[in-house]
Each structure stands twice: as C-alpha cells, then as structure tokens.
C-alpha cells in the first residue's frame, strides 16, 4: 500500500544493496564469473524463455537437484542476462546462518523463503521470484531417485502466488541431477551438524577434494512451461485448501511430464 507522499529525504547511501540484501553490482561480478561455466561448462540451452514475463511479478518454480544445486545459479544467470531483469531466489534459513556464504548468497539475490518476503517481492515490487517447492528434499535425494519429483512442500508457493495475484511459471531442468550426483547421504552426521543432508558425491570420488565443489560438465537444458494463472482474487486471507493443493499437484505433474519428455529426447548426459 503506498504511503502518502512525503517530502524527499536526504538518504546518504553509499552502496546499492537493496532491502533484500541484493546488490546489482555484486550480481554483475557474479555473472561475469559464472558466464564461462554457463556458456562452456554446462552449455545451457533454454526452450520457451519468451514465456517468462518481461514485466510484472511472476513466481518461477523448478525442479531442484544435485548435492550443491546447479539449477539455481543457471536459472538466475540465464534470465538476468537474457531478460535483463533481476531474479530473487528463495532459500532455506540455513544459508543465513553460514558466515560469508550467507552474505554472498544474499548479495546475489538470495532471499529467505518466508511467505511475507515472497509476497512483498511479488505483489508490491512485481519482481521475478524463483522457488524450489521440493525444498532440500530435491537435492537431498540419491542418484537412483533422479528426476523423480518430491512432494511440493505444503503448496505454500501456490498460496503466495494467489495472494500476490501473479502467475506461476513452471520450469523443467534436465542435467542438474547428473552435475553432482549424490551416491549416499551420511544422515547421522548431517543431523549432528544441523544440515539437511551430508552427501558423498560421484564428483568427490572422481575428482577428489575439488569434487566437493566442482560440478561435472553435463549439458543443462531448461524448458519453460506455460504460465499458470489462478482465477482467484488476490489478497484474500485464505484460499480453498483443496484448490491450492490441486493446483500445486497439477504444476508438479506438468514439470514431471516435461522432464520425462526431455529425458526421452536426451541422447547423452554430456552432449544433450
């Protein structure tokens, strides 16, 4: 809600860090560092990028994979370079607790996945917001489960999109699963450390210590599906639970089917 017009105040800011912690300057640096990986390592290919709105808010929803997920930076980098509009990525509070990583994550457009944060970004600021409804259950699955979508949380993302009056744009990502496959999860240690999972990845076995951070040079392909508009009025205190769950399940199925189709067409993990 706009506040009544006030006289312009002196605001001696010295950095471009916004209220969410994102800095366009830092994003530029991150994009230039990530560009070689995007172009030459993962050789990213998009399909249907034109379905992502060039203005107005939208909630982008994708499948989530790899021990260190490679899908989030790929989606954010791709949209920001192609569409030239910022993308805010929602993530777990785990990030905020990590020194250095948490700050870098925040400067690069990461925002805590709190319903009010998402609502403000989508409704009041009409931004693009990226969410992974599977949460840590997506990257936390082992390699034999690849491309099997987990439960879409409690469908909170549908509720937020309804409240904010914005469409959900589903994105199917193929390749991320093989970029850092998790062979086993050391669950007891993960629990002791307060982490959602503690992976032993194929990368570690193949590349040694570097493999803890470096993804395999797999081909990553993304397909943007048709935006889902909900014909409900925004800003309602509650929405029909069954409608919310149905919509979430529908979106999940769409992504799942797109994944199967893309996998049928894929000839090689490395070349696409």
Q: How many CA atoms lie within 13 A of 87 on its CB side?
A: 26
**Distance (Å, whole) CA 108 – CA 156:** 24
Judged by CB under 8 A, the residue of 73, 78, 102, 170 near another protein is 102
Stretch that binds another protein, among 112-120, 145-153, 170-178, 212-220 (CB under 8 A): 112-120
The tokens describing 227, both together, are 């935006």
Residue corresponding to tokens 């469409």 = 167
Q: Which of residues 65-94 bind another protein (CB under 8 A)?
A: 93
- According to DSSP, residue 195 is labeled -
12 binds another protein (CB under 8 A): yes
Judged by CB under 8 A, the residue of 25, 40, 85, 114 near another protein is 114
Query: Can you name the residues that pair with 91 across neighbouring β-strands?
Result: 112
11 binds another protein (CB under 8 A): yes
193 binds another protein (CB under 8 A): no
Residue closer to another protein by CB (options 121, 225) is 121
Query: Can you name the residues that pair with 184 across neighbouring β-strands?
Result: 200
For another protein (CB under 8 A), the number of binding residues is 32
**Distance (Å, whole) CA 33 – CA 218:** 18
Query: Can you name the residues that pair with 129 across neighbouring β-strands?
Result: 59, 88
Give SS3 for 95.
Answer: helix
Query: Measuring CA to CA, how many Å separate 234 from each of 122, 248, 254?
Result: 11, 17, 24
Q: Find the shortest distance in angstroms from Cβ 115 to another protein.
A: 8
Stretch that binds another protein, among 5-13, 127-135, 170-178, 193-201 (CB under 8 A): 5-13
Q: Find the shortest distance in angstroms from Cβ 74 to another protein.
A: 25
- According to DSSP, residue 198 is labeled -
Give SS3 for 100.
Answer: coil
Q: Find the shortest distance in angstroms from Cβ 88 to another protein.
A: 11
Stretch that binds another protein, among 19-27, 56-64, 165-173, 197-205 (CB under 8 A): 19-27
Residue closer to another protein by CB (options 74, 91) is 91
Stretch that binds another protein, among 60-68, 113-121, 186-194, 238-246 (CB under 8 A): 113-121
Best CA proximity match to 133, nearest among 64, 48, 207: 64
Best CA proximity match to 89, nearest among 81, 80, 98, 97: 80
Judged by CB under 8 A, the residue of 112, 162, 180, 220 near another protein is 112
Q: Find the shortest distance in angstroms from Cβ 15 to another protein.
A: 5
7 binds another protein (CB under 8 A): yes
Q: Work out the number of other CB atoms within 10 angstroms of the CB of residue 131.
A: 24
Residue closer to another protein by CB (options 20, 147) is 20
Question: In the complex, which residues of this chain contact another protein (CB under 8 A)?
Answer: 1, 3-4, 6-7, 9-15, 17, 19-21, 93, 96-103, 111-112, 114-117, 120
């Amino acid at each position: 809600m706009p506040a009544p017009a006030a006289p312009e105040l002196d605001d001696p800011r010295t950095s471009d860090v916004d209220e969410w912690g994102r800095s366009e300057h830092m994003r530029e640096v991150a994009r230039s560092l990530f560009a070689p990986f995007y172009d030459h390592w993962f050789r990213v290919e998009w399909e249907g990028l034109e379905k992502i709105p060039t203005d107005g808010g939208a909630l982008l929803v994708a499948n989530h994979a790899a021990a260190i997920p490679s899908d989030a930076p790929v989606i954010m980098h791709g949209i920001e370079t192609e569409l030239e509009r910022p993308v805010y990525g929602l993530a777990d509070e785990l990030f905020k607790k990590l020194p250095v990583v948490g700050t870098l994550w925040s400067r690069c457009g990461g925002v805590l996945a709190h319903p009010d944060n998402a609502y403000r970004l989508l409704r009041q600021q009409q931004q693009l917001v990226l969410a992974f409804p599977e949460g840590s259950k997506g990257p936390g699955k082992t390699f034999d489960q690849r491309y099997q979508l987990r439960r879409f949380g409690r469908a909170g993302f549908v509720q937020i999109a309804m409240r904010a009056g914005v469409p959900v744009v589903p994105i199917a990502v193929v390749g991320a699963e093989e970029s850092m496959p998790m062979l086993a999860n050391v669950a007891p240690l993960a629990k002791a450390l307060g982490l959602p999972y503690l992976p032993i990845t194929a990368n570690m076995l193949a590349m040694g210590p570097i493999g803890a951070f470096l993804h395999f040079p797999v081909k990553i392909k993304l397909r943007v599906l048709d935006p889902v508009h909900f014909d409900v009025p925004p800003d309602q205190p509650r929405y029909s639970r069954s409608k919310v769950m149905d919509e979430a399940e529908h979106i999940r199925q769409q992504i799942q089917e797109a994944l199967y189709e893309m996998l049928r067409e894929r000839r090689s993990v490395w070349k696409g």
